[in-house]
Every structure is written in structure tokens, then in C-alpha cells.
Structure 1
Amino acid sequence: MSSVFTRRWAGRITARVLALSLALAGLAVLDRHESPAPLTAEPAAVSTTLTGVTPPPMGWASWNSFASSIDHNVVKQQTDALVSSGMAAAGYKYVNLDDGWWQGERDANGNIVVDETLWPGGMKAIADYIHSKGLKAGIYTDAGKQGCGYYFPTTRPAAPNTGMEGHYQQDLETFQRWGFDYVKIDWCGGQAEGLDQEATYKAIAAANEAATAVTGHKLVLSFCEWGSGLSWNWATGYGDLWRTSTDVIFWGQTPTTAKMLTNFDRALHPAAQHTGYYNDPDMLMTGMSGLTAAQNRLHMGLWAISGAPLLAGNNLATMSTTTRDILTNREMIAIDQDPRGLQGVKVAEDTRNLQVYGKVLAGTGKRAVLLLNRTSASASMTVRWADLGLTSATASVRNVWTGTDAGSFGTGYTTTVPAGDAVLLTVSGTEASGTTYEDTTTATTPTFGNVTAASAGTKLLDITYANGSATVRKATVKVNGQYAYIVSFPPTGSATTYRTVSVLAHLAKGANTVRFAAVSGTAAPDIDALRVQGIPGTDGTALVGAASNRCVDIEKNTITDATQAQLWDCGGGRNQTFTHTSRGELVVYGNKCLDADNNGTANGTKVIIWSCTGGTNQKWTLHSDGRLTNNLSGLCLDASNAATANGTKLVLWTCNGQNNQRWTAA
């Protein structure tokens, strides 16, 4: 690793005391590796020792197979099967009760009253049973006054008053006292009442902290507002996981690969996922009727490469040996549960719908790779080491599903992938170089200026820190003007013992500012250095308007089809980074194309994002004079009404040579 700044003798002794000591000793300023007496050197501020973070939850959830028809017999049966099948030993620890456990009564004090014909001994008894098997217990509620079982009754009559609104801390204390370890908080009531997603779930997170202060037992929080409030922008550090889409399967429907792929795509928000906080594409359909063994493997590969929670939804008591073996594949689980806690990102799509995803793993030069063939024909696919952030030196490849070594290969690896299927690999190669930036101030949460990137794209940031306390500390990280994310920093053993945690961040081409800040009401870790490394397969360009000097932007990281593009201050975010493919597309988020709405060819046609289709209305030509024309209409990308302000919408218009139609790829 190279160092942009050489950290001088500092420690937390203070620079003033140090300078005086050096002056008295008649010494020049020394490099950290020298050891003059009588001072004791601070441990090297740049560490390569990773702190493992809390992995995504693994377990079983009741909804997909049983809907509301759950009781103590069902849960005990599935708990026993989780153990006897070997799934518990493979890492599946949670047994999560979903909708239907509570049919809607409270006593005069507002406490939940359960039906003890369904739950003999009450809910504490079922939690105790789950714990007796060495497992953890999860429960379910809704953020609104009414739960989903009221608005969408399934297998049982509508159940009123099953939401937690007005009882947030009370219900969370109840769940904690019963002994539950995890709670999923749905959004049917919240949606019906028009509640604000961010404000509501942050209030629930605060109530969870307050309840824990009373009971001493904290719950893992699973936010389930289906991505409707753009949870990937704000949920990190408030929820432990958050849903990014609607259900992967609705009750009574047959599982499909199409829905599986949709939820996978919608869950890819790499900057939000790290240090124990996870995007959640929903429970698994693996082993449910309607999916083949190949589809089940595909499902697990998609969830593993994205580092998603693995919550099985099949009937464990009746599953086949094949299903069990897929669910318990230890190499697949190791990818999902990797101690770095990062999400995989798309690093190549040389041919439409032949997609390569790479996930940075713990260790040096370690990657997981998913070769995903979305076409209807078998195809040869290649992963290039350079796209993953590795050098072109020989790397070894292992096939996860077959459990066999493929061999060692220079520059990349090519294999055949069946139609509608994927190959899951691990790769051990040589890490490409990165750049290290050290904090030369006494700040515990510093700002790193002039963090440079040769191109816009997703970068790996290894953060060196010390946390001498016995508990996790938190800080926010903010790149340029992008959203700030809470990062978790586990204990390192002492205030002078340094470790690293990792995040993925989106940087602009050129200079960037990376700011750390304390989280209100909490103690911050001592952050001392950043190591920044590119993942070249994610590189793209920003489209900067000549008149506005602002970037083409997709508002608030929205991923919904038909969202109109706009101008906004350039910040290097993923919503401003476009890949200009060899097919002429401008792709954002890895799977959305800049699109002339409804194949429009008239002046004023909205420029939107849409799932890439290969249509001519999604192909663009950037001319040497800065015009960006749509290949279907020949019209220019135009900042409407020649406006230059943030939020100006983008349309197509007859090319006129004005600066509101001129763009620079940066």
C-alpha cells in the first residue's frame, strides 16, 4: 500500500506534547517505524487486519409455506426439522413467526393478548422452546394500527388491531420479555394510513433502544416497507435489514425465476450494505413446489452473491434431500456470510443479459463471482480479473456448486453457463494496488479531502480505526453530497489496537471528499486511515451539462421504471454514473437504461429510466461537439426550458446547438 500522507508521531498524546518532546531531544520529525525513547509509538494507523462484522441473518420463516395458519405445533415441527436436517448446524439459527400468530386483542392496559389454544403457555413458551434447541426466535408485527392480516386476510379471517402503532415501545418490550430476538415490521397499516416510511421506522428504532434500556434484551430489526420509501437511502444503522421490494412470492402463487430475478435486481444498493446492515430481497422460495433443482441453486446463488439474509420459506419437515443439500452448501453459505459483509456488484455485461457479478470477500485477493445467463440459450461467459479489482496474474478458480477446483488461469476464466442459469465461483488472485489516505489531525472522525479516483465508479474503502470500548461504536460516512450512511465499528480490544472494516462507496472521477461524523448521542470510534481500491468493472461516466455544470441524475437513488432524469449537483453517486455500453446504451444502477419514454420521437418526450430492453429508444450517440442524441428520434438530450437549477427535468428536443443540449462525459 502507498501512503498519500506520512503519519508523524501523534498517538492520542497530542501533537503539542510530542513536538515539545522532539524539540527537547534535538530530534528531527521521525517516521513511525523509528522508536526513540522515552516515547511509546502509537500502533501503525494503517491496518490490514479485518474485523468481522455481524453476518446477514439465516434461518426459517413461516409465511411462504403456511401463511397465517401457524400455531405452536407448526413452529415446533419446523424448529425440530431445522435441527434434524442439519440446517441449524450449517448456520440457520432463526425461527421466525410471520403474520397470523396474533389475532388482535389487547387488555385494558394495551398489552397484547394471545390465543392460548394456539399458543399453550403463551408466546414466551414458544420462544423458550426455540431457544432450547440452540436457536433464536423471531416474531412479526406491523408499523400501522392494523396489520397485513387485516388488509389481506390469508387462510384466517381478517384480524383487526394487530399493528403496533401507538404501542411501539410497549410491544417491543413485550417481545423482548417473551424472549424474542428478532422482529419483522411490516407496512400494510403504515401504507393504508399514509405514514412516512423513514420517520416511522426511525421512531421504531428509537423505541427499540428505549425498550432495551428497560429489559436489557435488544431485538434485531427487520424493516419491511418493500422499498416504497427508498429505504436504502436511510435505513442503514436504524434497521439491521430492510426490504427493497415487494414479496418474492405472493400467497398461493407459483414461484418463478422472473420474480426471483426482479427482487435480486431491486436489492442491489452496495453503498447501503456493510458492517452488519443488509439489503433484504425477501425470504427464500428454495424447495417450494414449482422450482427445479437448477432454479433452487440459482436462487441461492443470487442471494449469496448479494449477501442477502437467508431465511428459508419451504416446509422443512417435508423437503427433499436435494433441497436440503442446496440450502446447506457450505461454500455458498460462506460467500453469503462473509465477514466483510459487502454486497456483490455487476462488473460486466459484454453481451446483453450475460451478466457477471463480483463480491469482495475477506482476505487478500478473494472474490466470489456469479456468471448469470438471463438468455434462453446456453452461452460461453468470461470473468476478467481486472474487472474485479485483481491484477492479471494467475488466479485459482473453484466451482461452488460442484465443490471442485477448476484450475488456475491468467487474466480471467471462461466457462459455459446453461440458459436461464448461473455458475457460482470463488476466485483467489492478487489484489490490485490501492491508495491509502491517513488522518494527520487529532480528530476521531476526520474528513479526508482530495480522495482521487481515475474514473467514476464503485470503490472498496477499507477503514482503519480503533475502538477500545466493549461495545460497537458508530459513525456516519458521507462521500461528496451523497447520502450519509451509518457505519458500525466493533471493538478492537484497546484504544491503540487498529483494525479495518469495509464499505463500498461511489466516487466521482477526480477529487472526492469523504467525511466521517459522530452519530448523535453515541461515542465515535477513532478513525485513522482509508485505503481506496477500484472495482474497474463498475466504472462509468457522469454526464455534465455545459450550461449548468450539473449532472444527469436519477432523483433520490430511485430505481422505479419511468422515473424522469433530472439535473443535480454532481456528487459521484451511483445514480449519476452511467456505463456507455458497446450497444450504445447508457446504463445506470447496472440494469436501468436511459430511455425515450414510450418510444417517443416528439419534442418534449420525457427522458426516463427503464429496464434495459435493447430497443433503439434506449441507444444514444455522444457527438464530439457535446450533443447527446437518441438513436430512435435523432433528438438531443435537453435540459428543459434551458433551465440550470437542481431538479430541472430532462427531455428530448430538436438539436439547436445551445449549451443546455451539450454534455461532457466525465
Structure 2
Amino acid sequence: MPHINARRWTRRITAQILTLGLAVVGLAAVGGQEQSAPLSTEPAAVSTNQIGVTPPPMGWASWNSFFSSIDHNVIKQQADALVSSGMAAAGYKYVNLDDGWWQGQRDANGNIVVDENLWPGGMKAIADYIHSKGLKAGIYTDAGKDGCGYYFPTTRPATPGSGMEGHYQQDLETFQRWGFDYVKIDWCGGRAEKLNQEATYKQIAAANEAASAVTGRKLVLSFCEWGTGLPWNWAPGYGDLWRTSDDVLFFRETPGLTKMYRNFDQALQPAAQHTGYYNDPDMLMVGLNGMTAQRNRLHMSLWSIAGGPLLAGNNVATMTTETRDILTNPEVLAIDQDPRGLQGVKVAEDTRGLQVYGKVLSGTGKRAVMLFNRTGTAANITVRWADLGLTSASATVRNAWTRTDVGSFTTGYTTSVPANDAVLLTVSGTEATGSTFEDTTTATTPTFTGVTAASAGTKLVDITYANGGTTARKATIQVNGQYSYRMAFPPTGSATTYRTVSVLAHLAKGANTVKFAPVSGSTAPDIDALRVQGIPGTDGTALVGGASGRCVDIDKNTYVNGTQAQIWDCSGGRNETFQHTSRGELVVYGNKCLDVPTSGTNGTKVAIWDCTNGTNQKWTVNSNGTITNNLTGLCLDASNGATANGTKLILWTCNGQSNQKWTLT
């Protein structure tokens, strides 16, 4: 028997012996897992030694400044400037060629043929040059037959045939042989051909693995289907990063707050971002015409608290010292690049438009905090330590932009934030208590039942595991009936050396099941224990139907305004967790309100919409179990009294029937 299984059998026997004396020693066994069992006779398996994961990519991309007008001179100039400006030393390593590098030719064997007037020596020569500067090289393609330059030509004519469909493995092998390290795969051709996003990008991921088996090189995969196929549900572990929204800036468009805010909001998919896989809100606009210093800092604050990729889009060779200093502020970059690899989440909005975001950082009791004023007037904003998962004990506060200590504060911290601006902080406090659940089976990828939560919401889950190999191993994680996500588990040094990686998981109130499973083609890590801690500012309630016993649900975690609410089996997902605010709103995802049109009548659909503080988005939870809309006075109703999954929610005259009764759990 392998040593690791022998260890597991030893623990299982030990746990069974201990269970016989529960009344004496006070150990609580939950669903085959032990909860908070600090007995000296039990082998220690709950590690507190965190391991760093691959951080979000940092670098430069050509599109926002040069569009299709790129050649070897442009790329060499920008690579040189990344080094000479100090940006490379600050972490900006990738030099990414976007659309326009290839004008669509292939030879008789289907191989890409480039214009050597634009690229002397071909693409390998430019990749070699980038590498010679100590940088990494990125390239661009499309999932369809034709790329975006065909459908939306900018500074060069339309370029037919510049997509990779029909040549997935061939092109990926080509990119790898040229020496590229990263590929962005756009969706203009895919959309025009009505390809399926999930199936297509998973096919590309498989082709990338096959190409790597031939060449011995690997490519970072950047999926760019603009969030249209809800990639946060399926992309982790297939892609390394995936776009969650449309472009933050179109050709010849002036940078603006509306798209910046939209892309930030839509990138907040916390369960998907973990262990080196990242939601991508798009390239940076810092330093572009129309961007002030204040707006540049705000932009960096938003992307950093979200833990997003930082791909500068300005002309690095001509940027001002002010722009360079904003892009290279070490404390802001440290928040983005934190080795725990998690995303910030909204933890408070006491007044509409005055928001608090918290990001769990590596170490103990460490948080990044963004106080975000989305209104047109300066205002005080307060962060409470309890909302972040810290105790109310004194915590030290530091301003990341000024790089100065603010002081020590108990309970929380309040400061004034200018209109349409943010204050970015780091906080060092005392971690709140959590619960531990230890596997007592022989499975390397176990199922933990009875993982209890006092309230529905987003929880910090530290996973203790061992990986005695030399490369990251993969396994999937699934909470209740939610989507299953691939995770990466870096090497820990030996099969008996335990470390932790972290995820943000959405748990229901009460008992939850957290299931791990092996990934085909990958050796599984040895997963041994969970530590679960609340982030109370994310807590909410499920709305459970009296007739159906099912939860109010937003289908497939979609963010699209106008998506009609429905009922579905309760799973504790973020799409089923609502905050009933002091303003009377029912808020899901932190920023979408249950909404009805201002002229709502019987049969009007109840949908999600950006929160506006309107009366049509305010609801009264009544003592008889009904929920009435404050504008119309009508009841939240499961249409036609149906109880099946997918039944849509509407407004209807209150009649006391069970399809209009809801329990907030």
C-alpha cells in the first residue's frame, strides 16, 4: 500500500477510536468529517501554511494604442520601453501582439504565412527579441475562421482567413514553435458563425494540450468571448483567464467611467477566480488620452481589488512619469498580485453608491479594502472589520496609493472619498474563527458532507492538500448543486508535506456538501481538510417558495439586465443569495436588484436590473410570508402556481396562495 494511503487508514482508525469517546472528549463528527478536532493524539492535517499560486498576468498589449498598425518596429520599441521605464522590473512581463499582426494567408499545407516586410525574419524573430529583453511574448487569434480584423477593420483593410478554426492544434503548435508564451483567442468569427462558446474553447484547450505534447512548450490561454457564454461557469482550468464583459474601449472611443464600472462589476465572479485562474475585465486604459491622473488611479484600484490581469494599453515609449508611477505603484500591484490569488467582493453598501470591497490577502488577518464612491458628491464611507471576516479588535490601516500608515482603529475605519473615486487600503487585523472539516476516508479527492454555515454567503475556504509531484495537479470542486470548477494544486515538496490553497465558495445556511473529484488526464492531489470562515459582509438569505420548496434563482449565474427570475433547486449559489437591504431592495450578486417595470401589472415579469434606488426595486417582506412590490403593491408570484425548476417569477394580485409565500432562510 502506498505510504499516503497508509497514513489515511491510520487517521481513519484513529478517528473511529476517538469517535467512541465523543461524550468524553467533546469531538463533533460531521458526515464522516471531524470538526475542529485539536486532539494531540490525532495526526495534524489542517495546515495553515499557504502556498502561492500563479498571479494574474501583467504586461502590455498593443490594441488600445496601435490597433491594427503593428509591426516589428512598434513591438521592439514597446519592449525596449517596458525595460527602460522600470515597468518590466515592476512585473509587467508580457508583450502581447493583438489583432493586425497577420493578414490572413496560409500556404498549401495550411500553415500561417506572414508579411516579412512587417516582420523581418518572421514571428519567431520578434518572439526571440522579446525574450532577449527578459520578457514574455503573447500573440492573438480568433476561434472562428475569420478574426475581428475581418468584421471590424480598423487601420488596415479587412483580413479574411485570419482565424484559427479548422487549424486549432496546427496554429497552437506554430505559436509554440515560434516561441510565444501566451495567446489571446477572440470571438468575432465564433460569434458570426454561431459557434458554442463553451464547446469551442474547451476544444481549443484540448488542442493546446495536444500541441504542448508535441512541442514541449505551453501557452497561457486567454479566452476572449466577452462573457457572452458565461465563462465563469466553465472556463477555470481550461483557460488561464477569460473575459467577463465587452471591450472596455472601442476603436476611436474616448475612455469613460460607464464602461470602466460595467467591466469591473461583471468581472466579480469570486467562485471562479482561484488557484491561478482569473476573471479578465479587459486591458487597461491608464495613460490614454482622456484619462486624468485621478481616473488612472481609480482604474488601477478597481482592477487591483478585483485581482484582474494588468495589461497596459498605453504607449509605453511616450508615457509621462506620472503615468509610469501610477502603473508601477508597488503597494497597488501587491494587492493585485497577492499570492493567494483571490478576488475582492463587495461587503457593504450602507448608502446607495457608497460601496466597500474587501479582498482576502495571503497571511493571517490581512485584507485589501476599496472604499468606492460611485456618486457625484464626496462622502464618508466606513469599512467594518466584522464585514471582512476580522474581529473587532484593533487593526492597522495603510493607504496603498500614498504608501503611508493611517493608524490603528477598533471596529472599523471611516474616511471621506471624493466623487467617482476610490480609496485603496490594506488592513492588518485579527482573523475571525473558522470551522475545520477533516477527511477520514482513503479518497485523495473526498466529499465533505455536513460543512455547516451559520448564514448563506461567500465563505473563505482553505484546502489542505499534498502534491509530491513537480507540476501542479488538478481536481474539481463542487458545492451542493452549483457549477463544478477545475482547481490547480501546486507542488508541496513531498507526498506528506501539506499546504493550503484558497477559494471563495458560496454556501447555503446549514449543511453543505463540498465534493472534490479527479480531472481526467491529471494525477489528483491528496486533499485532506477544509477550513471554512465567513465573510459576513456577503451574507444574505435564500428566498424559498412555499409551494415548491425551491429557491428564487437567476438562471446560470447570468448578469444580463432583464433576466427574469425563476425558481430552482436550492444550492446556496451566489445567484440564489439575496440581501434585503435597509432600503428595501432584494440584491443579488452585490449589484443587481429584483426589478419590475414602473407600470407593472398582473403577469409582469420580475427580473434583475442595475440597482437605481427606484421604488420599483423595493420590496416589503410581510409577516404572512408574501413579498410585495412597493410601487405596484402586487405580490411576488411563481407563475401559474407551478413548482417545477425554471418556473418564472411574475407580479400578481395578492391572493394568499402558497405560490406567493416565501421564507427567507
2:369 corresponds to 1:369: yes
Quote the Cα distance in structure 2 between the aligned partners of 1:589 and 1:17. 43
How far did residue 33 of structure 1 move?
A: 7.0
Report the residue type matching 1:231 in the other structure.
Answer: P
How far did residue 13 of structure 1 move?
A: 1.2
How far did residue 289 of structure 1 move?
A: 0.4
Q: Deviations over 1:349-401 (max 9, x none)?
A: 00000000000000000000000000101001110000000000000000011
2:615 corresponds to 1:616: yes
Change in Cα spacing, 1:155 to 1:45, as seen in structure 2 (3 Å) is same
Quote the Cα distance in structure 1 between the aligned partners of 2:244 and 2:367. 24
Residue in 2 aligned with 1:286? 286
Report the residue type matching 1:210 in the other structure.
Answer: A
Quote the Cα distance in structure 1 between the aligned partners of 2:122 and 2:108. 18
Quote the Cα distance in structure 2 between the aligned partners of 1:18 and 1:661. 50
Q: Deviations over 1:137-193 (max 9, x none)?
A: 000000000000000001000000000000000000000000000000000000000
Change in Cα spacing, 1:281 to 1:22, as seen in structure 2 (3 Å) is closer
Q: Deviations over 1:63-118 (max 9, x none)?
A: 00000000000000000110111000000000000000000000000000000000
1:12 alignment partner, one of 5, 20, 27 = 5
Residue in 2 aligned with 1:641? 640
Indicate conservation of the 8 Å contact 2:305/2:357, yes or no. yes
Change in Cα spacing, 1:610 to 1:12, as seen in structure 2 (3 Å) is same
Quote the Cα distance in structure 2 between the aligned partners of 1:19 and 1:448. 14
Quote the Cα distance in structure 2 between the aligned partners of 1:558 and 1:260. 19
2:563 corresponds to 1:570: no
Residue in 2 aligned with 1:269? 269
Report the residue type matching 2:351 in the other structure.
Answer: T
Report the residue type matching 1:626 in the other structure.
Answer: G
Residue in 1 aligned with 2:651? 652
Residue in 2 aligned with 1:4? none
Quote the Cα distance in structure 2 between the aligned partners of 1:505 and 1:475. 15
Quote the Cα distance in structure 1 between the aligned partners of 2:38 and 2:245. 49
Residue in 2 aligned with 1:389? 389
How far did residue 123 of structure 1 move?
A: 0.2
2:624 corresponds to 1:605: no
Any stretches of 5+ residues in structure 2 without a counterpart? Answer: 26-36
Q: Deviations over 1:603-648 (max 9, x none)?
A: 0000000000111110000001100000000000000000000000
How far did residue 45 of structure 1 move?
A: 1.1
Change in Cα spacing, 1:20 to 1:509, as seen in structure 2 (3 Å) is closer
Q: Deviations over 1:233-277 (max 9, x none)?
A: 000000000000010000101001221111000100000000000
Report the residue type matching 2:459 in the other structure.
Answer: K
Matched residue of 1:552: which SS?
strand
Residue in 2 aligned with 1:492? 492
Residue in 1 aligned with 2:32? none
Change in Cα spacing, 1:296 to 1:564, as seen in structure 2 (3 Å) is same
Quote the Cα distance in structure 2 between the aligned partners of 1:353 and 1:665. 25
How far did residue 16 of structure 1 move?
A: 6.2
Residue in 2 aligned with 1:629? 628
Residue in 2 aligned with 1:3? none
Report the residue type matching 2:5 in the other structure.
Answer: R
How far did residue 601 of structure 1 move?
A: 2.4
| 1:214-225 superposed matches below 5 A | 214-225=214-225
Quote the Cα distance in structure 2 between the aligned partners of 1:18 and 1:294. 56
TM score, norm. by length of structure 1: 0.95
Residue in 2 aligned with 1:7? none
How far did residue 436 of structure 1 move?
A: 0.3
Quote the Cα distance in structure 1 between the aligned partners of 2:10 and 2:435. 30
Indicate conservation of the 8 Å contact 2:184/2:224, yes or no. yes
Report the residue type matching 1:632 in the other structure.
Answer: L
2:206 corresponds to 1:206: yes
Matched residue of 1:289: which SS?
coil
| 1:45-444 superposed matches below 5 A | 45-444=45-444
Indicate conservation of the 8 Å contact 2:104/2:162, yes or no. yes
Quote the Cα distance in structure 2 between the aligned partners of 1:385 and 1:664. 29
Report the residue type matching 1:542 in the other structure.
Answer: A
Indicate conservation of the 8 Å contact 2:9/2:442, yes or no. no
Quote the Cα distance in structure 1 between the aligned partners of 2:655 and 2:634. 10
Report the residue type matching 2:604 in the other structure.
Answer: T
Q: Deviations over 1:385-439 (max 9, x none)?
A: 0000000000000001111000000000011100110000000000000000000
Residue in 2 aligned with 1:480? 480
How far did residue 32 of structure 1 move?
A: 8.8
Change in Cα spacing, 1:20 to 1:602, as seen in structure 2 (3 Å) is closer
How far did residue 12 of structure 1 move?
A: 2.4
Matched residue of 1:364: which SS?
coil
Change in Cα spacing, 1:69 to 1:432, as seen in structure 2 (3 Å) is same
Quote the Cα distance in structure 2 between the aligned partners of 1:590 and 1:468. 39
Residue in 2 aligned with 1:448? 448
Quote the Cα distance in structure 1 between the aligned partners of 2:317 and 2:127. 19
Quote the Cα distance in structure 2 between the aligned partners of 1:564 and 1:547. 19
Report the residue type matching 1:283 in the other structure.
Answer: M
Indicate conservation of the 8 Å contact 2:561/2:608, yes or no. yes
Residue in 2 aligned with 1:6? none
Indicate conservation of the 8 Å contact 2:468/2:492, yes or no. yes
Change in Cα spacing, 1:22 to 1:486, as seen in structure 2 (3 Å) is closer
Bigger CA drift: 512-521 or 336-345? 512-521
Residue in 2 aligned with 1:560? 560
Report the residue type matching 2:333 in the other structure.
Answer: I
Query: What's the Cα RMSD here?
Result: 1.8
Matched residue of 1:377: which SS?
coil
Matched residue of 1:423: which SS?
strand
How far did residue 15 of structure 1 move?
A: 6.4
Quote the Cα distance in structure 1 between the aligned partners of 2:188 and 2:460. 37
Matched residue of 1:75: which SS?
helix
How far did residue 521 of structure 1 move?
A: 2.0
How far did residue 34 of structure 1 move?
A: 5.8
Quote the Cα distance in structure 2 between the aligned partners of 1:34 and 1:269. 40
Indicate conservation of the 8 Å contact 2:4/2:495, yes or no. no
Change in Cα spacing, 1:650 to 1:102, as seen in structure 2 (3 Å) is same
> What is the aligned residue count?
647
Report the residue type matching 1:532 in the other structure.
Answer: V
Quote the Cα distance in structure 1 between the aligned partners of 2:404 and 2:273. 30
Matched residue of 2:311: which SS?
strand
Q: Deviations over 1:266-298 (max 9, x none)?
A: 100000000000000000000000011000000
Residue in 1 aligned with 2:550? 550
Change in Cα spacing, 1:21 to 1:76, as seen in structure 2 (3 Å) is closer
Matched residue of 1:12: which SS?
helix
Q: Deviations over 1:288-314 (max 9, x none)?
A: 000110000000000000000000000
Residue in 2 aligned with 1:589? 589
Quote the Cα distance in structure 1 between the aligned partners of 2:373 and 2:345. 16
Quote the Cα distance in structure 1 between the aligned partners of 2:13 and 2:423. 61
Residue in 1 aligned with 2:512? 512
Quote the Cα distance in structure 1 between the aligned partners of 2:501 and 2:387. 22
Indicate conservation of the 8 Å contact 2:12/2:441, yes or no. no
How far did residue 342 of structure 1 move?
A: 0.2
Q: Deviations over 1:535-560 (max 9, x none)?
A: 00000000000000000000000000
